Structure formats: structure tokens, C-alpha cells
Structure 1
């Protein structure tokens, strides 16, 4: 029986691969090592490949597209309803095949390397901003134990903290000054790291044609433009602006029952 669709449950080293025929009946459902996957799939050049859109799926999607396969990445929430019985790798792989055969399901395109470069820059920046926020909050909280309250905002903190460490008339002890000096150096380092990432984002925005076009919209600058490009690509996967907004969570969800729309 000819295998027309192959569902892959991705993992680190051992993948579960399920192949179904045109009638949707399972032909095989087996475990395959990572290093053997592409060799195995070359024996089914005409098969469509379906995977959950998860960590690693963009890499495998690009690799399989280069081999000539039609690749479908499925959002995980659309696969879950098709898992039958207990959750295990075999059932997950077959559920991916089941979901991929639904005619109205919207699939995700694998991100290009350019998109991945942009999105990892944003993700590292976001993590460092969270670290900076936690660090500034800690500094403010510790200073309050010595009766020192600083104005809101990062700039007052960056400006006034060195002066506080040099002021011998406040209640900071020797050990408090030592730790605050270390925290100040840590804060400076994270500011430099964030600034470097933001320079990279500006460069990416100037060199990416879609980002440059988005920056022609009033209110859209480098960070928003590159974030949109890394998330949505060329936008071909969306029906329109409302669909894109809904995917971002900017449009209220519908929860209707018994003829009542909410």
C-alpha cells in the first residue's frame, strides 16, 4: 500500500514515525533514530510530511522541503483532540496524521533561516530585559532597607546609584556598598548586552525587505517590524489582517453556546 502521508512525533534522539495510505489507514508506526530519519524518508519521496510546530520543527521542515517533500507543520493544540487512548509516541504520531488530513486545518510554514536569526535575537533580548527588570527591582528593594528611595524609572537609578555609593552621609554600610557596587556593575553589563542586541535588530530591519516595508507604516519601527517578520514571515499563511490579529491575541476570542455569542 502506497504511503501518502507521514506523521512525525519529534524528539531529541528517537522519533516516532507513522505512515498512512490514502484511506487514512496506518501502514507503519515505528521508532527511528535521529541520524536515520532523512535516509528513511528518502524512500517515500512523494509522501507529505506532517509534524507538530514545536522546537526543532523548523529545522526539519527546511530539510524536508529541500528533499522535495510537501511539509505541514500543525499547531499542537490542533493535534491534541485526535490523540486516541493513552498518550504515547505511537498515538501522538498517528494523531498528527489524523490532524493533517483535515481539510479546514491551517498549517504553519517552516521559518526561514533569516526568520530564525531575527527571532532568536528578540528572544535573547526579552530574556535579558526580564533579568534587568528583576535586577533593578532587587536594587530598589535592598536600598529601601537603608531608608533610600529612588525615583521611578531606569534612568534615575542609573544616574543616582553611583552618587549614593560615594555619599558617606547615607546609611549604607561597608558591606552594603560592596554589594551595591557589584550589582551596579552587573546592571551596566546587562545594559550593554541589551544595547548590542538592539543594534543588531536595527541592522536586521534595514537589510530585510519585508521589515523595511513594514517600517513605512506610521508607528512601526525596527523592533515591531522585525518581530512581525520573524513571527509571520511573508504573511501568506493568514487570511487577512483580522486573522493575523487573532493569532497575536489582539482580537477577543469567541465563546458561544445555545445561540448566544460572546
Structure 2
């Protein structure tokens, strides 16, 4: 006859399950205590990393980022409680700066606030007809000059109209054509290295000034830009080595399929 089962006896499997539950509960308590302890700890410092532009330029310095933070919050983060650090607000504050394209902020395991900044990339410097001086970034948006460094980009001067925020949407806007031309030059390794300035005449023609030689390149309007650039490169590649850089004072590519030199 089988012995009756004592329902009050805890089996080995049940003991094991209870042990696991106790371990999980203890772990949760430890983690919660650690989180609460960390929230009560103080920020030990702010570390700022600014990613250089492709050519190595730094248009802003870590001290500029710290000044932006202090101006927005009114205090230094060092020695303040970790729980008071508003990560999202801090990122928004930094991304409002016209030199900043993106900002990422986080608290590391050592209670340091880590700030990573991606700079906006200027592609052309504009000095317009009224003397306003600024950059256009790679997306065509206006950005101010840097107090630390002058970006090594093509400079445009002359009869350049006032900046308006929707100029890229205006098909015939001269500033739009100027920006597109600067992009064409920038995307060509040879011309990007050679052209240093664009002058806009009173009739809206573009005149390019090379880094080497004293000649001017009369580009004309932006119309047929790919054809003009192609002809200009052929001339520099095939004719200039034989004629020399100083022979011509003017190189005119305004007319389709032609390069007229004087």
C-alpha cells in the first residue's frame, strides 16, 4: 500500500524556483538602490567633443559649448545632482546654435555629462551688395562666421541680393544660382582646388577668379553650367599646358561649345 503524499512537503524543484525568485527580487532591489543612489550623486564634469569638418576645421571650441550651456541654464553642471540634468533640453539648446547641426548628450557610468557636437559645414562665404557677411552651409542655409577660424571655402562678392529663407525655392533667384554653382565647383576636385572667388557683376554674370594666374573666367549666367564647366576643364587640361598660365587675361565660356581667350 502506497504511503500518503504529504502536501506540506516542499519539493526540490519548488525550492529551486523559490531560490530563483529570491535572487531576482534581491537583484531588483540592488539595481533600484543603485539607480536611486546614482540619481542622488553629483555630476563630476562636462566633457565636450566637437567633430571636425572634413578638412579638419573647428568653427567652434569646447569653451563655446560650455558658454551656451551656462547661458541657457544659468549654472554650471559640476557638483549638481545627476537627477537635475535635462538631457533633451540640453540637446535642444545646443542645436539652436547656428554653428551646430546635431548634438548628442548622455550621462556616462562615471557621472560625467558627455556632449558630442556635429558642426554645420560651410561651402561658400557670401559678402552681399549691402555688406552682409555670412556662410551658406551644404544644405544652403545661412550660418554666421566663426570667431575662431575662417573656413577655407570659395568667397562670393559683388551684386549679390539679400538673403531670404526661401531663396532655394525661387527658380530664378540669383543667390540660388550662386549656391548651385558653388556646389558644382565643390563637387569637382580640380575646380574646387583651383577656384578661390566668384564675383557677381551688376548684370548677374558670374566671374571666377582662380588661385593660380591673373586671368578671370567669365562664366556668365548659371544656364548651361555643366557644358561650361566641361569646356573650361578641357581648356585647362589641353590648352593651358602649352600656352602657359600667364598668356591670357580673360577666359570666356559664356557661349555654348566655345572658350574665347584674350
- TM-score normalised to structure 1 length: 0.22
Higher relative contact order (CA 8 A, sep 6+): 1
- TM-score normalised to structure 2 length: 0.22
Would you tell me which structure has more strand in proportion to its own residues?
A: 2
Would you tell me which structure has more helix in proportion to its own residues?
A: 1
Higher gyration radius (CA): 2
